[in-house]
Amino acid sequence: MGSPSLTKRRTPERRVRRTPLYFPERRTGFDRRLADTSGWRGFWDAGLRSYRDNRTGFLLVLATIIVFNYVDYLLTVRVLQAGGTELNPLMARLFEIGPVVAATAKLGLVGAAALVLLTLSRYRRALEASLVLLISFTALMFYHAAIAIRLAG
């Protein structure tokens, strides 16, 4: 049927590397090929580079996000105690289970997101995500302020 030397050659190749379970990304989003120093893109890129290099500013943004999240939870509890409703259906369901469950989920999720952003702070997308979260929670604080003004007046 076949010579013994041919069967030895059909064994799996030992030099083939296995595919790793993780895929490290080497690019941070600030590569030279993306550098565009003109117009809005250049302004945004320079601002993100400055934001990345200013560790205190980045930590301050993350701390502000966490504090705004906690204030949002407290104000939501007050509104619910006054007879209001939660607009977020997921949080409404968690508040039906209990305020401790809602607090654990809300504060834990945003805290975990802040830790992930902190560990990925050298990447452009993580920096942009932290700014989007800051803007979102700031808008939420203005929404709560508008509700408080309407209820007081």
Q: Where are the domains of the chain?
A: 40-152
d(CA 87, CA 109): 18
Ramachandran area for residue 84 (φ above 0: left; ψ -120 to 50: alpha; else beta): beta
Mean pLDDT of the 78-100 span:
91
d(CA 31, CA 92): 43
Mean pLDDT of the 38-62 span:
87
Residue 138's pLDDT band (boundaries 50, 70, 90)? Answer: very high
pTM: 0.75
What pLDDT does 7 receive?
55
What pLDDT does 151 receive?
76
d(CA 16, CA 18): 7
More confident residue, 111 or 150: 111
Residue 152's pLDDT band (boundaries 50, 70, 90)? Answer: confident
Write down the H helix ranges in 54-123: 55-81, 89-97, 99-119
In this structure, are residues 76 and 140 in contact, taking their beta carbons and an 8 Å threshold?
no
What pLDDT does 118 receive?
94
Instruction: Determine whether 30 is exposed, middle or buried from the number of CB atoms within 10 Å of its CB (0-12, 13-18, 19+).
Output: middle
Mean pLDDT of the 36-52 span:
80
More confident residue, 57 or 152: 57
d(CA 111, CA 66): 7
For residue 63 the two structure tokens come to: 């701390």
